[in-house]
Structure 1
Amino acid sequence: MAPTSERRVTAAAQGDVVVFLIGMRINRWRAVRHWLPALAAMPRMLKELSRNGDSGLLGLRRLGGGPREFGVAQYWESREKLLAYASDRSGQHRPAWVAFNRRARSSKGGVGVWHETYVVPAGSYESIYVDMPPAGLGAAWGLEPVGRRGERAAERLASGAA
């Protein structure tokens, strides 16, 4: 277990922040041949991204959602690197996406997938972590003392430095 911070800290992010949320939902448990490959593809993609220091993936956090929903919040260096990974024919994502679409046509809704991408401009995000191990944006970008960006959320947002 990661050690907790005994002080108030904030994410050391600079500039725009790219947040990519992705997940799946098992709609019919018996449609195993449709949802199991989708479920198994995500760990392979995350492993590939983590091994490649130039991929642009800065950090991730698994999202809960109950026994039939699985998701991941990802923090990216830039939208360009996220889109480059998504379209890379030699990486894990593109073949997994093609295979999922092929299976989805015959699954009649057995499994659902979703994703959301947010490009958050500098000055439009803020964070605070108290007595927490690094998490979320702070785990992706690193941490710094809150005072460097303002003691209150309103100050951190108004500073434009996020």
Structure 2
Amino acid sequence: MTGKPIEGRMTAAAEGEVTVFLIGMRINRFRALRTWWPVFTAMPRMLKELSQEKGGGLIGFRALLGGPRLLYVVQYWDSKDKLLAYASAQDKQHRPAWAAFNRRMRNGKGDVGFWHETYVVPSGSYESVYVNMPEFGLGEATGVTPVGRRGDRAADRLAS
């Protein structure tokens, strides 16, 4: 986590619908480097491409470790339509990486696992608070604002 802590109670400055996309891989056999390494290296290329594309829909992300075998990325998108458009775009990094991954999965006999989850969160259905933290999560993706501007309690922020 980078950045200097912001004193006090802050909340994400997000407005409107937000799409949260979780995607990850599990290394089932560390010795099967040829199977899982290309999966591992494909995601940074896609995130770089998405980060450089203004208006592409990705508004922020965080890569995380879930133990020695599990790596995943939390992504925040401004719309599900832009996420789905990227996933199916013929001229972007995702399509060739997905095709290659599927070939390796068939040949790899379970060497690497893959998962993703997508959540479309309507406006007024998400809430956040960050106390003495640098911008993080949705707040890192959209910026932060003092809690009082959105309501002092979680229930108040969820209602707005």
Tell whether the structures are fold-level matches, with TM greater than 0.5.
Answer: yes
Which has more strand, going by share of residues? Answer: 2
Find the counterpart in structure 2 of residue 135 from structure 1.
136
Q: CA RMSD in A?
A: 0.8
Residue 13 of structure 2 aligns with which residue?
A: 12
Aligned counterparts of 1:62 and 1:35: Cα–Cα separation in 2: 17
Gaps of 5+ in 2: none
What corresponds to 1:145 in structure 2? 146
Q: 3-state SS of the aligned residue for 1:6?
A: strand
Normalising by structure 2, report the TM-score: 0.97
Runs of 4+ in 1 over 2 A off after TM superposition: none
SS of alignment partner, residue 22 of structure 2: strand
CA displacement at 1:12 relative to structure 2: 0.8
Specify the code of the residue in structure 1 equivalent to 2:7: E
Q: How many residues align?
A: 159
Deviation at 1:158, TM superposition (A): 2.2
How far is the alpha carbon of 1:30 from its aligned partner? 1.5
What's the offset of the Cα at 1:148? 1.1
Deviations 1:23-66 (A, max 9, x none): 00000111111100000100000011111112111000112211
How many Å separate the matches in 2 of 1:107 and 1:35? 9
Query: Residue type matched to 2:92 in 1?
Result: G
Matched residue SS, 2:133? coil
Give the percent of matched residue pairs that are identical in Structure 1 and Structure 2.
66
